[in-house]
Amino acid sequence: MRTFGVEEELLIVDPATGVPAALADTVLRGLSPRGAAAGPKTGRLPGDAAFGLELKLEQIEARTAPVLNHDALLCQIRQARVLVDQAARQQGARAAALATSPLACTTHTTHSPRYATMQRRFGLTVTEQLTCGLHVHTFIASPEEGVAVLDRIRDKLAVLIALSANSPFWNGGETGFESYRTQAWNRWPAAGPAMIFGSVPVYRGVVARLLESGVLFDEGMVYFDARLARHHPTVEVRVADVCLRAEDAALIAVLVRALVESASREWRDGVDPAPVPTVLLRMAAWQASNFGLRSELLDFGSFRPAPAGEVVHALVDFLAPVLAEQGELELVRSGVDRVLSDGTGSQVQRQALCAAGLKTRNGQAGLADVVAHAVEVTTRAG
């Protein structure tokens, strides 16, 4: 079994108002060994989670160590969330696994030369980019295997957008989307689905051309839906919202690992990637972002509309041989059924807003209740 791990971006919020709080640097110091000052990518605690700053001071990143099984990953995700929340409490704040802030706020860009350059270059896109994602890293044996995997998973990633949807509100209002983070994120010039590369030289050549264009100023801004990690021997899948529930994050990670393993086997067996035009992948991602699991998704075989539940179950069926071999099939089936029954994070947020509406006509107060409920769910043990 391949090792895998996740990066989760969490919001730091004021528990009284629900508004994001620009405290990531001080929260990170509280997470560092002995409270020492920490840079953007430091703060590892012995053996388990690590923490770092992100683009905005209203968010913080938690990173698990590589593990081999679902239970170990879920344990680390829960541990990391609790640690971030404890450090936030020391500053009078809380942690919330929300992919966008329900309430409007003035954001603060993290102090670094790179982020300052991004602010000057990309303006409002950076100013408004307070979004939190879930990134899943899965081990690959070589860049050749990695590119082969990228080519063979691209047609199925939109299903993960729907399953993880957790951003129905933006700037103090309803968006009409289940994953509005996907819409906001795709304003970046190199974000979204990529072409079929076919080989490592082609992949590297495309990245080089993007940098030569002058639009991007470093490889870290190659924000493909899935890419080769720059500093680790992994494929990094980046389409998911941060999940409200820790168990949903672990479920998404297990699905990603199975996708990587299945794609690798197809490559070794000489199965060509599905020749789906990139524009159709964008349609599938947009549909998943818009409807989540509430209505129809584009089926990843035909790219025609089909009930969301059928498309999700079709993905599990496609991955069933790998999942069964790894002892995860029943776990995934029950996890998917739970999300379809209980709702995604977006659906849970809307339910919390409806419950708040029974108590008050004040929309902002209702959204504060949504955040308060999210804070409670974020660190729930099960």
* Domain spanning 4-378, CATH class: alpha beta
H or E segment at 239? strand 234-241
What is the Cα–Cα distance from 107 to 130, expressed in whole angstroms?
7
From the list 346, 344, 361, 270, the residue with the least C-alpha distance to 309 is: 344
The pLDDT of residue 41 is above 50: no
For 259-316, write each residue's pLDDT tens digit. 999 999 999 999 999 999 999 999 999 999 999 999 999 999 999 999 999 999 999 9
pLDDT reported for residue 382: 74
What is the Cα–Cα distance from 348 to 232, expressed in whole angstroms?
35
The pLDDT of residue 87 is above 80: yes
Cβ-proximal residues to 171 (8 Å cutoff; 6+ apart), any chain: 104
At residue 381 the predicted structure's pLDDT band, cuts being 50, 70 and 90, is confident
Hey, what are 296's tokens?
């129809």
pLDDT reported for residue 365: 66
Q: Helices 308-325 & 329-342, crossing angle to 10 degrees? A: 160
From the list 212, 232, 230, the residue with the least C-alpha distance to 220 is: 230
For 45-83, write each residue's pLDDT tens digit. 334 579 999 999 999 999 999 999 999 999 999 999 999
Angle, vertex CA 135, rays to CA 126 and CA 39, nearest 5: 60
What is the Cα–Cα distance from 288 to 296, expressed in whole angstroms?
8
Three-state DSSP class for residue 95: strand
Mean pLDDT, rounded, for 360-370: 74
C-alpha distances in Å from residue 92, one per residue of 26, 276, 374: 11, 49, 17
From the list 365, 343, 347, 348, the residue with the least C-alpha distance to 356 is: 365
Cβ-proximal residues to 231 (8 Å cutoff; 6+ apart), any chain: none
- Give me the sign of the Cα torsion angle 341, 157, 153, 277: positive
What is the Cα–Cα distance from 192 to 296, expressed in whole angstroms?
20
pLDDT reported for residue 364: 60
pLDDT reported for residue 10: 98
Q: How many CA atoms lie within 13 A of 245 on its CB side?
A: 19
| Cβ contact 188:210 at 8 Å | no
For 144-199, write each residue's pLDDT tens digit. 999 999 999 999 999 999 999 999 999 999 999 999 999 999 999 999 999 999 99
Residue type at 356 in one-letter notation: A
Entry field: residues in the chain: 382
